[in-house]
Structure 1
Amino acid sequence: MGMTRTRQAYEFPTGIAPPLGEVRAWLRERLSEVGRATIADTELLTTELVTNAHEHADGVAELRVSVPSGRDVVRVEVDDRRPRLRPYRVAKADPTSPHGRGLALVEAISDRWGVIARAGRKTVWAEIPVL
């Protein structure tokens, strides 16, 4: 993991649902140096962040993934088109609902995560431990 990785970005087409299968394949190509379990966790977490941005934040703009040099984590950043920082809460999901588990899942998979305001956008980021 001591290798420096440049950050790589996936840009999303506007006006359509994110192509999640393509996103997962894109992640697998870029994360070939980490183990299968880490890739699976990264795919799950990224799918959740991308879906949240699409459904709740006026669409996903860009996804970035990197393996920071000297750290045993995969860093995922998802930009959405809503710069306003809504309070993020990890609420207890209604067990009968198919929705509402997203941030609890992000919190369970990642070492840490957060939200950053940017010009005209918001970035939700998470760091997944390399197993």
Structure 2
Amino acid sequence: MPRSASLRITESPQGFAQARDFTRRTLGRWALGDRGDDAALVVTELATNAVLHAVARPGADQTGVWLKLTLRRAHLVCAVTDQSDSPPVCPRTDGALEVHGRGLRIVEALSEHWGWTLSPAGKTVWAMLPALPRPTPSAWHGLT
């Protein structure tokens, strides 16, 4: 049975800090504290994109940006929903010192899968992180 937890993210630096803290606390309760840093970074990138780039649709009856964490058998799903129906864009960043445009590349690097879907509320951008610990190199010694 999947476990889930949700949080409305306020559109402020404090909102992003709350989302990171919520993510770490939730994963700690689910005995996934070792995944907290990666999940907090993914959540921050998804939430930042939602706040910066999402424009509310006219007539939308729900407001804000929502974070939902869902623990499945082998994956943690981090999903951020906003009111926009515009797809996420993964811009090309060629400059090594570019500050913007790296969020979805970070999400892609830390997750096994990511994507997005439309919903009546707008769109949800999600990332699946492995919930099981990765084998350490010392554990590989017994495999040879």
Between Structure 1 and Structure 2, which shows a larger proportion of helix residues?
A: 2
TM-score tier after normalising by the smaller chain length = 0.7 to 0.9
Superposed CA RMSD: 1.9
Give unpaired runs (5+ residues) of structure 1.
none
User: What's 2:17 paired with?
Assistant: 21
Indicate which of 33, 38, 41 corresponds to 2:38. Answer: 41
Cα gap change, 1:5/1:29 in structure 2, threshold over 3 Å: closer, same or farther? Answer: farther
User: Which digits, 9 at most, give the CA deviation of each residue in 1:45-101, with x for residues without a partner?
Assistant: 110000011111137521000111xx2221111001102335x33633422221111
Q: State how far apart, in whole Å, the 2-side matches of 1:125 and 1:55 are.
A: 17
**Counterparts of 1:2-21 in structure 2 under 5 Å?**
4-13=1-10, 16-17=11-12, 19-21=15-17
Give unpaired runs (5+ residues) of structure 2.
57-63, 134-144
- Does the aligned pair in 2 maintain the 1:113–1:124 contact within 8 Å? yes
- Does the aligned pair in 2 maintain the 1:53–1:80 contact within 8 Å? yes
Larger relative contact order (CA 8 Å, sep ≥ 6): 1
Q: State how far apart, in whole Å, the 2-side matches of 1:97 and 1:107 are.
A: 18
For the pair shown, which has the larger CA radius of gyration, 1 or 2?
A: 2
Q: Out of 17-26 and 108-117, give the one that drifted further.
A: 17-26
User: Which digits, 9 at most, give the CA deviation of each residue in 1:6-35, with x for residues without a partner?
Assistant: 32110134xx42512111111112111114
Aligned residues, how many?
Answer: 122
Q: TM-score, with normalisation over the residues of structure 2?
A: 0.75
Residue identity (%): 30
Q: TM-score, with normalisation over the residues of structure 1?
A: 0.82
